[in-house]
Structure 1
Amino acid sequence: MSSLSRRKFLLTAGATAVGTAILHGCTSGGNAPQTPASPSTNASPAAGGEAPEVTKAKLGFIALTDAAPLIVAKEKGLFAKYGMTEVEVLKQASWPVTRDNLELGSGGGGIDGAHILTPMPYLMSLGTITKTKKPLPMYILARLNTQGQGISVANVYKELKVALDSKPLKEAFAKAKAGGKELKVAMTFPGGTHDLWMRYWLAAGGIVPGKDVSVIPVPPPQMVANMKVGNMESFCVGEPWNAQLVNQKLGYSALITGQLWKNHPEKAFGMRKDWVDQNPKAAQALLKAVLEAQQWCDDPANKEEMVKIISDRQYLKVPPKDILGRLQGKVDFGDGRTIDDPDLAMKFWRDNASYPYKSHDLWFLTEDIRWGYLPASTDTKKIIDEVNREDLWKQAAQAIGVPVEQIPTSSSRGVETFFDGVKFDPENPKAYLDSLKIKTIKA
């Protein structure tokens, strides 16, 4: 990790994507929680002529708890179980580095797929964030998790008791700005999930992102160090970095994102389209391993072992105590508040966490339109149908014996409701956009 200057952020680069109308389906509460199954490691990968075309693949990850399914699939032998005996799971320094290495592909010294922010495969497929500005077709094969992120605030604002309501920061920011202070809040990649959580939260409290406060990108592992030297007022990032901030008494968490939007989608398992199309059996092998790893990760009996695996030096390189608590739903916000609610914790498999609902991709693209990352004219249906491969997810799920009642029958989870009462109906994203007072939409 490069060293930090007290006055200078180590920033990331980024951009945008798109989405559209989708089949109406079951609501977020319409599916009973599934019981994760422990993966078996003695199946024959070649059974039924399913031997993969290749045995190697390079997959990237960022040092975040929600990268666990890829790490566990590697460490527990699940990739090898399906014949992918030479899979490398490689740490990436930032989301822009992930993007750059996906552009290169393994043939060019990069990677074939990754643990990735859900909007990024869309932004890459549209060519809005690639270095060449040319489309790099990508697929989303699975959602890796739901929930489990956080928005944290500097200790200087602790007396304001900022939580789900960001309004108390509006006046504080105005006073600080009037006094000549440059105000910044951080996220991990422009147009990515953390950017959208941060912007939604600020706007819900009447704070205009980009006007009342600058929104800047910082790599996840550098969030805490930047907060320590006073470079930001707040940040949104995945775990374990919010927990580490609290454990080091450098700030506090205003909220965890399950409170912002219950069971919200987060990271995805994305791969280059050309790799999947050229190696369909290998892609299925990878996907089966990832789905089994998600089941394993969601079993409470495996949490401590999972934390031991991912906290290792080659992966997250943080103390296990910074990971385990919030993974179990035990949250010390750092301001006197605590909760113990496993239903608000990161989910890898329960409640259809792994299924890549197209309606969720549509929300991300609609928000990217809201904030001017994508033009309002974007054909969201077209790009979602090209990128989202829920069909491959279903194929893999059936192959590993997922019960039929745990396989969604609709591309939509239905109407979603946010903490402030705002609703997103995937049948009418324009109505959602029109209802939002704070936005930056470009024609």
Structure 2
Amino acid sequence: MTLKTRVAMAATLVASLCGISASATELVIATVNNGHMIEMQKLGKNFEAANPDIKLKWVTLEEGALRQRVTTDIATKGGQFDVMTIGMYETPIWGKKGWLKELKGDASYDADDILPAMKDGLSVGGKMYAAPFYGESSMLMYRKDLTDKAGIKFADRPTWDQVRDAAAKIHDPKNGVYGICLRGKPGWGDNMAFLSTMANSYGAQWFDMKWKPQLESKPWKDAVTMYVELLTKYGPPGSSANSFNEILALYNEGKCGMWIDATIAASFITDPKQSKVADKVAFAQGPYAVTQKGANWLWAWALAIPAGTKNADAAQKFINWATSKDYINLVGKTNGWAHVPTGTRKSTYANPEFQKAAVFAAAEKAAIDSANPNDSTLPKSPYVGVQFAAIPEFQAIGIAVGQQMSAALAGKTTIDAALKASQTAAEREMKKGGYYK
């Protein structure tokens, strides 16, 4: 017996002793490097123990790098990944192109338990092409101690005028408190995620039914004017560079009287280990002006199977596990119910343990339930999406418009000039895409 043969036999024996099948399917999973996904990676050993014929291989990237890698791979049919973490923007576009496999849960999966807004946002023609791992909307989070002191009582969904009046009353920069904190950093998923919902509530839309950009319309101007006024008068210095993480740090230090952003923030600002004002936070729905349609966004980080994978059955089995009720229960028992991935299933919000651990649960669910990606604007629109339009050209348009809005906020250009430049950039991209001449 040769040395090479002995080594091969020893390796087979070790694999056998470790409970690993010599012919195990390797499932390559591309995901984002945030807390919920890192936890999924840690708990993956439970899936492997239950499925010894499947080995998980993780490719964990920051958000921008993830988007670039999976987009390049799926568009070129590269076949690097068996499971991809994608969002509500990519899913309808790629599903329609035939780049994703339709998802079909097993008998125990209970697809009817998935929140309707999440299911609809990840489906095309009634077929699901991605399963939500965690979901979110946006809402108003505010310092109740400050509003009580100022005699302010918010309705369940306040108006933007009420928010402006409240910001003026609680703004106290001498004592380190700013009336309101909002995203200003440019990006289609950054300042434009917030500004799109604000504009929706003023009756705006990205494109009319002929795909003509509408960025110089009165509703857009009214929304951006209010936005700039709020942050220049009652916001922290340097707002044009602030994104989620910067504002989260300010809020947890007690420096923001109000914040309108992702519902996922609620779990951080109510955590006494992170927040100095954890016991002073209250919630309301996203503000509106002339309509409540599209006043709060809708997003999910979801798991999908690229059409080119050779391991579709194993990939489906993994997605069924990672987005199941059992997985949420596993996280609850392992790490506590305040740390489960939220925004996906009705049963999570019906769970008394979750309700007790998450003071924001009811407000978060109401926000998610009210968001409709198929009907998010007052005038009829040709696109799917609340805070984005699910067309390939939107990324470039959103980035260009975001830069203009950030410049207007920083005082480097006027609101009118910023909107005009935004309209020009949007028209150029849409004509290039062949939407109209």
User: So what's the TM-score if we normalise by structure 2?
Assistant: 0.45
Q: Which of 1 and 2 has greater Rg? A: 2
